[in-house]
Amino acid sequence: MSATVRYDDVEVGLEIPAADYPVRRVSLVMYAGASGDFNPIHWNERFAKTVGLPDVIAHGMFTMAQGGRFVTDWAGDPGAVVDYGVKFSSMVVVPDDDQGATVTVSGVIEQKLEDKRVVVALTARSGDSRVLSRARAVVQLA
C-alpha cells in the first residue's frame, strides 16, 4: 500500500502512473466463487465459443474491480473511494495460456471538489481495447 495521498499535494491534470493487473483463468474461477457468478462464459472455453465469444472473458465486475483497486492503491486507503462508476466498453479476453490477459489502468485528476475530495478519471485497457469507459472515482483525500 502506498502512503496516503494528501489533497494539497494533487492538482487537476496530475497523471497517476499506470499499473498492470494480470488476469488468468484461475483468477476468474476464484472470482466466480467469491461473487457467485458461475456463468460458463467466464471459465469454459467451449461454451464461450458456442455463444459467439472469441474465448473465455473476464467478468465485467472483475474488470471494474481492477479500476477500484488502482484507485485505492494510489490513495493509500481502501475506504477513500466514496463513489465509483464505469461503463463497460469491451471484453477482457482471457486465453488459456501462461500469459492470460492484462488489464492496464491509469488515471488523471480531473477535478478538485470541496471537502478534500477529487475526481479521478480512469483509463482501463486490455491489449488494444479500452475495456472501461466513463470510469470515474470520487476519492476522499487526507
pTM: 0.94
Q: Please, what are the domains in the chain?
A: 7-22+60-140 (3.10.129.10)
pLDDT by residue for the chain (142 residues), tens digit each? 457 899 999 999 999 999 999 999 999 999 999 999 999 999 999 999 999 999 999 999 999 999 999 999 999 998 999 999 999 999 999 999 999 999 999 999 999 999 999 999 999 999 999 999 999 999 999 9
Q: Considering just the CA atoms, what is the radius of gyration of the chain in Å?
A: 16
